[in-house]
Structure 1
Amino acid sequence: KLELSKSRSDLTTIQMKYTSINAEYTNLIMRYEFLEQQSERAEEEKSQLIEQLHNLVLQNQNVLTQALSNKDLFHEEARGYL
C-alpha cells in the first residue's frame, strides 16, 4: 500500500511537470510565431523603404538635370545680351 501511494505521488509530480513543460512549449511557439510575423513585417517595410529611396534618387537626378539645363540656358541668354 505504501508503494502504491508513492507511485501515485510520483505520477502526480510527473503530470505537473508535463503540464508545466507543455505550457512553456505553447508559450515558446506563440513567441516564435509573433517574432516570425514581426520579421515578415520588417522585411516588407524594408522593401518599401528601398523602393521609396530609389524613387527619391530618381527625383533628385531629374531635379539636378533640370537645374543644370536651366543654368546652361541662363548663361546662353546672358551671353546674348552682351
Structure 2
Amino acid sequence: MDELRAWQAFDRVNPIGDYRMDLNFAMLFQKIAQWSGYCKELPSLKELLVIDPFPLTDEQRAIETAKADAARSQAYTQSLIATLKSRVKK
C-alpha cells in the first residue's frame, strides 16, 4: 500500500498521460521529419504540441520576444559584418 500511495502522490505532481504522450509523438515527428528530409528547418516541440507546456504571462512573453528579436538582430549584424569583411580587398 505504501508503494501505491507513493505512486499516486507522484502522479499528482508529475502526471503520466495524454500530455506525456503528446510530447513523445511530437519528438517522434521531429525525428521522422529530420531523417526523411521533409523539413529543412525542424519545427520546435512547442509548435507541435497542442498544449503549451510552459505558459507565459503577457509580460513574460513580451520579454522573451524582445530577447529573441535582439538575438536575431545581433546574428544578422554579425553575418553582415562577416560578409562585408570578406568582400573588402586586401
- With the shorter chain as reference, the TM-score category is 0.3 to 0.5
Q: Whose relative contact order is higher, 1 or 2, with alpha carbons under 8 Å and at least 6 apart?
A: 2
TM-score, with length taken from structure 1: 0.40
Structure having the higher Rg? 1
